[in-house]
Amino acid sequence: MSRFEGWLVGRVASSTAKLALGMLGGLAAGKSIGWPVAGTVIGGIVAGLWMNTRDARRAARLADWLHGPTDRPAPRERGFWGELAYRVERLLRQRERVIAAERGRLRQFLSGIEASPNGVLLLDAQGHIEWCNGVAAEHFGLDPQRDLHQRATNLIRSPVFVSHLQEGDFAQPVVLPGAVDRGTLQVLIRAYGEGQKLVLSQDITEHERSDAMRRDFVANVSHEIRTPLTVLAGFIETLSQLPLSEAERQRVLALMQQQTTRMQALVADLLTLAQLEGSPRPPSDRWVGVRTLLEAVRVDALALSAGRHRIEVGGGADAEIAGSEAELLSAFGNLLSNAVRYTPEGGQIRACWAWRDDGGGCFEVTDTGIGIAREHIPRITERFYRVDPSRTRETGGTGLGLSIVKHVVQRHGGEVQVESEPGRGSTFRLVLPPLRVRRRAASNEALAA
């Protein structure tokens, strides 16, 4: 016998017993007044009515509980209705627990999508917004609460997006402008369920910018190499086709040599840049004496100037920098060579090391050269940016020197500062942070030229 059959038998037996008790009571009462049959019937009816009324009251209390908010406890009854209320309540609480667990899982899932760096937008079969994460809201200029259930194409009005959504061919992503000032977005749509759509957006502004920079860079390099190559080709033609005197031949060869040197310098700078971009940060525990660096760049500057300038190099005897000696040499050397190249004959150039109040240090080069107009200063560390291209060519520059300097300094945690006035001269400063510089016992030699 099942549990419920047993319970049914018990209930029938108890009802029967109550009915029998009522009838017996009625019989006893009827006998005393001489109406035993009527007494028995009335006793049965009273017992039945009593049982029915009690059942109805219990059922009504249960129905009342079921109609109202079910977070209240179910009515505690005895017997059938008590059992029913208990079972309904247990079922309800079980469902509530399952729903709460599902809600928790959904919340976790949504907060996972919320954490995505990409925008996620869910559209129903009619193209209404069902849900979107914060990134998508930012990409498309939506309000995640207010714009729910709105038609997406009413809010995302880019014609590219609207036609892509309408065409229904989602094999390829589309590129469209983001909401006001949001750059460029790449949007990928995937259909799922019964006509719903998942819209994924990614901000590709940076990617596009670096693509454009790479294209510019390749164009610039090609241009820079093509110019000396064209000149060389012209000279080769001249040499092979024209009968030149020995003096003319020597002159052409010298010019060819000049162009070759220019190309070599360009290739060397390009390799340096590529190396800087591709290698790990310079070590922070290898210490390079500033004095050694200054001595090396001083010798090069003197050779480049060939006595046309007064060059002073000083300080740094007590300083060391943590980093790459080759990179630092290249940065210091570039600044000094620029000072020599952009300072007319008779000018003065001073390079020195100075400690800073914050514990950092800086390498500073000051010249009395041609200077740089204010509007050019923010751009001079860009690759191939020249204030005056013809002058750079004259002085043999590649247009990459300062971008190498900037790279090196940034890799050492520092920055480049420039102060300049046209016609009066410039000061370039490589400022290094305290973590990258330290003092050591000074030796008293002075560097001068």
Q: Give contact residues for ligand ADP (rule: CB under 6 A).
A: 334, 338-339, 342, 367, 369-372, 380, 385-388, 392, 397-403, 426
Nearer to ligand ADP, 272 or 334 (CB): 334
Smallest gap, in angstroms, from Cβ of residue 382 to ligand ADP?
8
Write down the least CB distance from residue 402 to ligand ADP, Å. 3
Amino acid code (one letter) for 324? S
Round to whole Å and give the CA distance between 243 and 197.
Answer: 77
Q: Shortest CA distance to 380 belongs to which of 409, 408, 404?
A: 404
Q: Which is nearer to ligand ADP, 190 or 391 (CB)?
A: 391
Q: How many CB atoms lie within 10 A of CB 369?
A: 23
Q: How far is the CB of 288 from ligand ADP (least distance, A)?
A: 22
Angstrom distance (rounded) from CA 135 to CA 138: 5
Q: Which is nearer to ligand ADP, 57 or 391 (CB)?
A: 391
Q: By CB neighbour count within 10 A (0-12 exposed, 13-18 middle, 19+ buried), where does 297 fall?
A: buried
Report, in Å, the least distance between residue 442 CB and ligand ADP: 29
Report DSSP state, residue 285. Answer: S
- At 78, list the tokens: 């005895």
Nearest to ligand ADP of 201, 403 (CB atom) = 403
Query: Shortest distance, CB of residue 105 to ligand ADP, whole angstroms?
Result: 57
Min separation Cβ 254 and ligand ADP, Å: 21
- 291: its two tokens: 């004095």
CB of 112 to ligand ADP, least distance (A): 47
With 0-12 CB in 10 A as exposed, 13-18 as middle and 19+ as buried, what is 323?
buried
Q: How near is the Cβ of 428 to ligand ADP at its closest, in Å?
A: 6
Sign of CA dihedral 405, 410, 414, 417: positive
Select 320 or 367, whichever has its Cβ closest to ligand ADP: 367
Query: How far is it, in rounded angstroms, from Cα 17 to Cα 144?
Result: 66
Query: Which of residues 330 and 338 has its CB atom nearest to ligand ADP in the complex?
Result: 338
Token pair belonging to 13: 């037996």
Crossing angle of helices 401-411 and 246-278, in 10° steps, is 20
The residue number with the shortest CB distance to ligand ADP is: 397
Q: Smallest distance, Å, CB 413 to ligand ADP?
A: 21
Terminus-to-terminus CA distance in the chain, angstroms?
115
Instruction: Supply the minimum distance, in Å, between the C-beta of residue 400 and ligand ADP.
Output: 6
Residue (7 or 385) nearer to ligand ADP, CB: 385
Nearer to ligand ADP, 204 or 231 (CB): 231
Q: How far apart are CA 80 and CA 384, in angstroms?
A: 92
Across the beta sheet with 425-432, the strand order is: 310-314, 348-355, 361-367, 425-432, 415-421
Instruction: Please name the residue ranges forming H helices in 34-78.
Output: 36-67
CB atoms within 10 A of CB 53: 10
Say how far apart CA 296 and CA 308 lie, in whole Å: 19
CA angle (29 as vertex; 27, 31 as ends), nearest 5: 65
Q: Least separation, in Å, of the C-beta of 408 and ligand ADP? A: 13
- Whichever of 344 and 434 has its CB closer to ligand ADP, that residue is 344
- H-helix or E-strand spanning residue 439: strand 437-439
Nearer to ligand ADP, 119 or 399 (CB): 399
Instruction: Pick the closer one to ligand ADP by CB: 65 or 385.
Output: 385
